[in-house]
Amino acid sequence: MKRSPTSSPPARENLLGSVIAAIGLELLLLAGGALLFALAFPSFLSQWGWFPLAFFSLIPVFIVVHRAGWVRTVLYGAFFGFASYALYNYWLGSFHPLTLVIVPPIYSVYFLAVFPLLKAADSLFPRYGFLLQTLIWVAYEYAKIQGFLGYSYGIIGFSQYLFLPLARLSSVTGVWGVSLIVVFPSALLGNALKNGLGEFVSFVRRMRLPILLYAVLFAAVTIFGLLNKSDLDSAPRWKVALVQQNVDPWKGGNKTYAKTLEILTRLSRQALQEDPSIDIVIWSETSFVPAIDWHTRYRTDRVAFALVKELREYLARQPVPFVVGNDDGQLARDEQGRPVRVDYNAAILFDGGEIVETYRKLHLVPFTENFPYKESLSGIYQWLKDADTHFWEEGTEYTVFEAGDVRFSTPICFEDTFPYLNREFIRQGAQVLVNLTNDAWSKAVACEMQHMSIAAFRALENKRTLLRSTNGGITCAIDPNGRIIAMLPPFTEDYLIVEAPVYTGNSTLYTRWGDWFAILVSILALLGLAGGLLYRLLRRRPGP
């Protein structure tokens, strides 16, 4: 007899069609989640961002993680990582073409690991896996700011910078507690909807206790945030002029440097004429490019030396100190003992035209400012050099400047996005944080607003004022309660005079203990995965 086929061609076609339809639906869900994720932050559609979207943006992720098999889950992780960061950080293409080749693919790799972990939590704990998934997400956010590739953009808690009652939780837990509050609804609802709408009501009924506990926690955190405001009325004021020249100093060479110097000195003069009681004037990151100390000492470039001389003569005539962002060139020796010039991205405090102290940037931007694998990955290093990448040397000291009665530190560029670094400035004695940055290259308000929204958490975590002096935006002042008390429009040539409160009240729990909450969550996530796996293995062992 002839053996009949196990399935007819139409049946196979129907099965293939079902698989294709399922994949299409799952990709569509993930694309929607990536878009909601991006729109929760300042974006190409909203300058300020739509922060309520963050509470629901990851629902598609948790639905798809449950529906898909293990292989598809891994591939979907790569897809979501690339799509979410390409939409969220779309402006990176304006910085350098290499950035869009680097950042979204890095997050594809990250989510290759994160998605299987989320699926493992769902498989090991079918009933309460959403609790472990929430911990895993927060642990991933903490892990992604570590090391050479550390990058704070995209931490979902940062989307809540306008929702101050919740954002103020960061003074206790850091941003990590805010992220946990934000991610939980997505994890819960994603699990409620993972088998379709039919089981949604029954799931919610079964989960009444976790839902009630979350509601109580959310209310408690909100009340804490409303009450946990520092009294700034009695804090002394520091009158600061923040200058926004709105010229990319790296474009155009000495002619641009001269034009930028003219704008900076003119705006500074106007600010001091408007208010002679100003205590200090602050310019942005590399606002003046020619290395001031280097050209004063060695005079290797006649035009650059003339510009440095003009600047120093101007500063010598000023009645107040100035902070100037500068390429700080210094003489060092290479491995063979030969003299070489090394350059630091620096902030320099001047008084009477003389250098008082210099801060050299500690945390450099990976690939575009720093690549420590010159020897082991020489091909990539040369590729970056050929792409006109400007590498800096790393600084070594948490510098605290003093101007009058105020002690302050100057995180440069994206250093104000890293909680640990700014916390250490405060622990070293800084009373005010002053960020110098240049985001003008982005040509995108979304980039500048994303940077500012992340930086706002440094004020919230430490209950200290944060000032931002930027090339093209966002130049602003944020008080210790997280309120934006003054701000210049982006991409405008202007100055901002602000009376910054110098609040020096009790240090916050975050300032004292750092990222304790993120570490605790990471340990719990690992223990949950390990415990679930061990329990599963023990259950499979044959009984007596």
- Catalytic residue set: 285, 361, 413
Burial group, residue 226, by CB count within 10 angstroms (0-12, 13-18, 19+): exposed
The Cβ of residue 125 has, within 10 Å, a number of other Cβ atoms equal to 19
Retrieve residue 490's tokens. Answer: 């982006």
Kind of pairing, strands 322-333 and 339-351?
antiparallel
Helix axes 97-124, 516-540, angle to 10 degrees: 50
Q: Are 364 and 392 in contact (CB under 8 A)?
A: yes
Residue 136 CA to residue 139 CA, distance in Å, equals 5
Closest residue by Cα to residue 245 from 434, 490, 415 = 490
319 DSSP 8-state letter = S
Euclidean distance between CA atoms 264 and 122, whole angstroms: 57
Token pair recorded at residue 124 = 């090991």
Handedness of CA 292, 498, 451, 432 (dihedral sign): positive
Name the helix (H) or strand (E) containing 374.
Answer: none
Phi, psi of 168, deg, nearest 5: -70, -10
Kind and range of the H or E run holding 525: helix 516-540
Residues 68, 57: Cα–Cα separation, whole Å: 19
